[in-house]
């Protein structure tokens, strides 16, 4: 089979090629003028580490109540009073509430409440929960979590970022001292951070069989203590120098 190339299409292609090249060159020139695209780049990987510490724990308490009709009016006050008696001077927050009627006509409440508690106030909290329990009212500690708060982690992360800035500036000064004619500047810092310790999570709503099967050492009652968590903040730093005459047409 013979193939024919139409002269008209060839002319169109040849005419379009220089225009395309000119458009690419103009676009590259505009990008250089707009962004200050560096001719020479030095890329660094910087890392610093710190430790996140906390002196408070997230205390999770589960309350199960069986109420008759006349008791429901003051049930909320009873829950609040029970929590405040367990640990005073903290802000309790209800994170879960279940309410249902059983076959015997009793209304059953199940309340999960959490509070950030100082380590010193955790001593004996398990015993207090048992002592406050009675028929129709069961109180148990569902979890004690010493994971640092978001504010504590962010504070350490901010300090580590400041160290990265100092290191990047020192590297920039050294580079400009070695190549004073180039005028290197800081082009980019891309931060990455990681918490090296896994986040502990409280175990909620354990059944009696699950609770009895747990080792005694895991029964949190204030005997534990806060564990420091290692945080690493890294950054990719790019130092660049604009090429002399960049963006100018010859």
Q: Containing H/E element for 242? A: strand 229-242
Mean pLDDT by 10 residues, the chain (250 residues): 40 40 44 55 95 93 83 79 92 92 80 94 93 92 93 95 97 95 93 67 44 38 66 95 63
- pLDDT at 150 (0 to 100): 93
Distance CA 137, CA 127 (A): 15
- Do residues 56 and 166 touch, judged by C-beta distance below 8 A? no
Which CATH class, in words, describes the domain spanning 56-145? alpha beta
pLDDT of residue 130: 94
Give the DSSP letter of residue 67: E
pTM given for the model: 0.64
Q: Check residue 12 and give its pLDDT.
A: 37
Q: Write out the two tokens for 82.
A: 């029970």
DSSP 3-state of 169: helix
Give the pLDDT confidence score for residue 71 in this predicted structure.
Answer: 64
Secondary structure of residue 80 in the 3-state scheme: helix
CA distances from 189 to 42, 147, 196 (A): 12, 29, 22
């Amino acid at each position: 089979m013979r193939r024919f190339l139409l002269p008209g299409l060839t002319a169109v292609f040849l005419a379009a090629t220089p225009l395309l090249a000119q458009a690419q060159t103009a676009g590259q020139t505009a990008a250089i003028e707009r962004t200050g695209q560096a001719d020479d780049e030095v890329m660094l990987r910087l890392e610093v580490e710190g430790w996140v510490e906390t002196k408070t724990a997230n205390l999770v308490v589960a309350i199960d109540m069986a109420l008759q009709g006349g008791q429901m009016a003051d049930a909320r006050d009873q829950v609040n009073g029970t929590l405040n008696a367990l640990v005073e001077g903290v802000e309790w927050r209800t994170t879960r509430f279940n309410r249902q009627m059983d076959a015997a006509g009793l209304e059953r409440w199940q309340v999960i409440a959490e509070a950030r508690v100082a380590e010193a106030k955790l001593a004996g909290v398990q015993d207090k929960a048992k002592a406050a329990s009675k028929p129709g009212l069961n109180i148990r500690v569902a979890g004690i979590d010493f994971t640092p708060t978001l504010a504590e982690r962010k504070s350490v992360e901010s300090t580590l970022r400041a160290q990265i800035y100092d290191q990047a500036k020192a590297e920039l000064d050294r580079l400009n001292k070695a190549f004073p004619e180039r005028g290197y500047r800081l082009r980019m810092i891309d931060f990455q951070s990681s918490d090296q310790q896994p986040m502990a999570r409280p175990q909620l709503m354990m059944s009696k069989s699950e609770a009895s099967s747990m080792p005694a050492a895991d029964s949190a009652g204030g005997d534990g203590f806060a564990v420091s968590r290692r945080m690493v903040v890294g950054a990719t730093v790019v130092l660049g120098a604009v090429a002399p005459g960049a963006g100018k047409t010859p």
